């Protein structure tokens, strides 16, 4: 089976030609071509939709059995509509993306959220494929936390836990959500970059005592929010993904020492890297149950 998977982020739209043999077997999802073009998010909805179309037309899409899209923004699972998007992509909220793309290409195009897509990829094809339920934290601009409750794939299977806005520190830093002390103000790439290190590689290599304390606080805060997710959801596996995991070789072992002093649930770094978005959308399109797309 020949498929196109697309991953629409705030900066780039990644797309891939993916050949699928056995639909349930991770090793039979083969990416044969992978391209990335600018999203041009600030130009708004029409420019972004045009770029999504361009990213699909980069391949011989007529020869493909399936086209699948993962995108930033809150997406209604059953209809593929963008029900909420921040101002990163002006006017994106309300875009019936699945309908627009299906009409344009004359075939079914399934659209899901990008964090959900990464969770599905890791849960079924990556780090979590041998586990019954998976909690995934995505450490990026913010802190995403979504939970895959089991091994079926429909509107009930995926829970957006919103644990990024779990209050870790009473009366702490102000958050964009209006609360104070939310986890994502401490556990995100944005939070780490506050310490004058736009380059996180330098932070993870620091010998400076103050910055070492920043890192040990970060390991404690991350462990604390994971501990809370285990109390609430009891996942079989916890997966940590997002940009900082690309540098995991510099911090994962130190973090594990802290984590293991608090929690006993199995934990693993995400294993599919920046391919998770395109793979998850294709997997969901083939194996998911959608009412209206």
- Pick between residue 182 and residue 286 the one whose CB is nearest to Zn ion: 182
Alpha-carbon distances of 66 from 6, 17, 18, 31, 240, rounded to whole Å: 11, 10, 10, 14, 29
Q: How far is the CB of 189 from Zn ion (least distance, A)?
A: 16
CB 240 → Zn ion: shortest distance, Å? Answer: 20
> What 3-state DSSP class applies to 20?
strand
What CA–CA distance (Å, rounded) separates 160 from 233? 12
| Stretch in the footprint of Zn ion (CB under 5 A) among 33-41, 112-120, 131-139, 168-176 | 168-176
Q: How many CB atoms lie within 10 A of CB 213?
A: 10
Number of chain positions touching Zn ion (CB under 5 A)? 5
Nearer to Zn ion by Cβ, of 149 and 179: the residue is 179
Only segment of 38-46, 86-94, 170-178, 192-200 that touches Zn ion (CB under 5 A):
170-178
Can residue 182 be called a binding residue for Zn ion (CB under 5 A)? yes
Residue 51 buriedness (CB in 10 A; 0-12 / 13-18 / 19+): buried
How far is CA 87 from each of CA 72, 91, 244, rounded to the nearest angstrom?
11, 8, 24
Closest approach of Zn ion to the CB of residue 103, in Å: 37
From the CB of 175, what's the least distance to Zn ion, in Å?
A: 3
Checking phi first, is residue 210 left (phi over 0); if not, alpha (psi -120 to 50) or beta?
alpha
CA 52/CA 55 separation, integer angstroms: 5
Residue closer to Zn ion, measured from CB, 177 or 256: 177
Residue 226 near residue 238 (C-beta atoms within 8 A):
yes
Going by the DSSP 8-state scheme, the letter that residue 207 receives in this structure is -
Tokens standing for residue 68: 């699948």
Return the number of the residue (107 or 162) whose C-beta is nearest Zn ion. 162
Our CB check for Zn ion shows the closer of 72 and 101 to be 72
Asked if 175 touches Zn ion (CB under 5 A), the answer is: yes
Residues 6 or more apart whose CB falls under 8 angstroms from that of 267 comprise: 226, 237, 238, 239, 240, 256, 259
**Least CB distance to Zn ion at residue 115 (A):** 16
Q: Which two tokens stand for residue 141?
A: 């601009």
- 45 is an interface residue for Zn ion by CB under 5 A: no
Q: Smallest gap, in angstroms, from Cβ of residue 221 to Zn ion?
A: 14
Choose, by CB under 5 A, the member of 14, 165, 211, 275 that binds Zn ion: 165
Minimum CB distance to Zn ion smaller for 104 or for 180: 180
- At closest approach, how far in Å is the CB of 191 from Zn ion? 12
Among 35, 83, 177, 289, binds Zn ion (CB under 5 A): 177
Enter the tokens of residue 2.
Answer: 């020949």
Return the H-helix or E-strand segment holding 38. strand 29-38
Considering beta carbons, is residue 1 or 167 the nearer one to Zn ion?
167
142/280 with CB nearer Zn ion: 142
- Of 25-33, 122-130, 177-185, 232-240: span binding Zn ion (CB under 5 A): 177-185
Residues that bind Zn ion in the complex, under the rule CB under 5 A: 165, 175, 177, 179, 182
């Amino acid at each position: 089976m020949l498929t196109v998977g697309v991953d629409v982020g705030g900066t780039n739209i990644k797309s891939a030609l993916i050949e699928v043999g056995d639909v349930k077997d991770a090793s039979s999802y083969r990416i044969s071509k992978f391209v990335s073009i600018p999203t041009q998010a600030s130009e708004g909805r029409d420019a972004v939709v045009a770029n999504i179309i361009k990213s699909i037309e980069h391949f011989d899409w007529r020869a493909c059995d399936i086209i699948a899209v993962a995108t930033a923004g809150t997406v209604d699972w059953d209809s593929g509509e963008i029900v909420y998007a921040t101002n990163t992509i002006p006017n994106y909220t309300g875009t019936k993306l699945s309908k627009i793309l299906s009409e344009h290409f004359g075939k079914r195009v399934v659209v899901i959220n990008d964090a959900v897509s990464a969770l599905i990829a890791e849960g079924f094809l990556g780090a979590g494929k041998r586990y019954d339920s998976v909690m995934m934290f995505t450490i990026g601009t913010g802190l995403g936390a979504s939970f895959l409750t089991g091994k079926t794939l429909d509107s009930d299977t995926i829970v957006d836990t919103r644990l990024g806005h779990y209050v870790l520190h009473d009366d702490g830093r102000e958050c964009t959500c209006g609360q104070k002390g939310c986890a994502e103000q401490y556990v995100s790439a944005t939070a780490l970059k506050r310490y004058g290190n736009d380059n996180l590689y330098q932070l993870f290599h620091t010998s400076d005592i103050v910055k070492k304390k920043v890192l040990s606080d970060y390991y404690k805060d991350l462990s604390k929010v994971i501990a809370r997710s285990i109390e609430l959801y009891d996942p079989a596996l916890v997966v940590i993904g997002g940009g900082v995991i690309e540098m995991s070789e510099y911090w994962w072992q130190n973090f594990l020492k802290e984590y293991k002093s608090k929690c006993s649930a199995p934990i693993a770094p995400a294993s599919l890297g920046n391919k998770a978005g395109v793979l998850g959308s294709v997997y969901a399109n083939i194996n998911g149950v959608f009412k209206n797309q």
